[in-house]
Amino acid sequence: MPPRTSPTERQKRLGAELRRMRLAADVSAESAAGLLGIDRSKVSAIEQGVRTISEERLRSLACHCDCGDKEYIDALVAMAQDRKRGWWERYRGSLSAAVIDIAELESHARRMRCAHSVHIPGLLQTSEHAMALFRFVVPPLPEEQVALRLAHRLERQRVLEGATAPEYATVVHESALRMQFGGRKVARAQLEYLVHMSERENVILRVLTFEAGGFPGAGQTVNYLEGPIPQLDTVQVDSTHGPDFLHTEAQLAKYRAQLDWTERLSLPPAASRDFIHDLAQQL
């Protein structure tokens, strides 16, 4: 197959894992190329996610690198063989690659853990709330771009539907709940929708109140996406220039601990539901 011009975050992750495996075994790129029967430049392209790798070559590389973790190798093979076009591909070229990458990663996540201190989680936003958010972008977005972003967000939310939907555990700070994007009517409808969504079996919603005091990661949005095995988990954090994707062992451990701490400070799900309901009644 011809090389890709713009690999997705998931494709780049596969390449990064293959490079990590090779370096951990102290295998040179030249040695890997000889084993796989390809040019050295193609090894680099595979590790950058630009070129694909067959199951046979991937398993040969793993064997050559003395990697005996069958679950890990099988998970990498599944990533390498997954070449179907998801719904998000319809937006490629119209929305940023990072936004599309988030949707792809969510669609493959076994479980999602999130913490939001300023905004309502995107997967739990009403269309009116999301529309109001998109109108606070600087410089202002053209109407067609607002419509595209809204359509993409609503399609993203379908990941929480169906019998195979992943568990979605999120912590939302009280400050985000009290924001009135779109005005009082929109804000109340958003809170009522959160109460409704929190009643789903696969949605665990906790509220971190002002009374809880300080907490780790204040002001930061964190999405922790669990892969088929822990080594393939991914953390997505928001920044001023767009989403960042993290997956080193130290980074994953840091954000797991941060989310654990935040959840301990939060109200239990039932109390959180009551808290949100009371806030809605005040509007």
Structural domains of the chain, count:
2
Higher confidence at residue 6 or residue 246?
A: 246
Do residues 96 and 221 both lie within one domain?
yes
Confidence of residue 3 (pLDDT cuts 50, 70, 90): low
Tokens of 65: 């690198």
242: in domain: yes
CATH number of the domain encompassing residue 184:
3.30.870
pLDDT above 60 (res 263)? yes
1: in domain: no
Q: What would the pLDDT profile of 22-77 be if each residue is shown by its tens digit?
A: 999 999 999 999 999 999 999 999 999 999 999 999 999 999 999 999 999 999 99
Average pLDDT over residues 189-203: 98
> What's the domain range around 27?
9-81
2: in domain: no
pLDDT of residue 4: 66
Give just the sign of the alpha carbon dihedral 151, 152, 154, 155.
positive
Do residues 37 and 95 both lie within one domain?
no
Q: What would the pLDDT profile of 85-136 be if each residue is shown by its tens digit?
A: 899 999 999 999 999 999 999 999 999 999 999 999 999 999 999 999 999 9
Q: Which of 229-243, 247-261, 263-277 has the lowest mean pLDDT?
A: 229-243
Do residues 157 and 49 both lie within one domain?
no
CATH number of the domain encompassing residue 27:
1.10.260.40
CA separation, residue 149 to residues 92, 139, 226 (Å): 12, 15, 25
Do residues 31 and 146 both lie within one domain?
no
Confidence of residue 1 (pLDDT cuts 50, 70, 90): low
pLDDT of residue 242: 78
**Is the bond preceding residue 139 a cis peptide, omega within 30 degrees?**
yes
pLDDT above 60 (res 2)? no
pLDDT above 60 (res 162)? yes
Which residue(s) pair with 207 in the sheet? 172
With beta carbons less than 8 A apart as the criterion, state whether 148 and 91 touch.
yes
Q: What would the pLDDT profile of 134-148 be if each residue is shown by its tens digit?
A: 999 889 999 999 999
pLDDT of residue 112: 98
Q: What would the pLDDT profile of 198-213 be if each residue is shown by its tens digit?
A: 999 999 999 999 999 9
Do residues 156 and 278 both lie within one domain?
yes
Backbone angles phi, psi at 264, to 5 degrees: -65, -30
pLDDT of residue 177: 98
Do residues 28 and 139 both lie within one domain?
no
Q: Which of 224, 268, 211, 191 is nearest to 115 (CA)?
A: 224
Percent of the chain topping pLDDT 70: 99
With beta carbons less than 8 A apart as the criterion, state whether 234 and 13 touch.
yes
Do residues 168 and 252 both lie within one domain?
yes
Per-chain mean pLDDT for the chain: 95
Last residue in a domain, options 33, 49, 81: 81
Last residue in a domain, options 45, 62, 81: 81
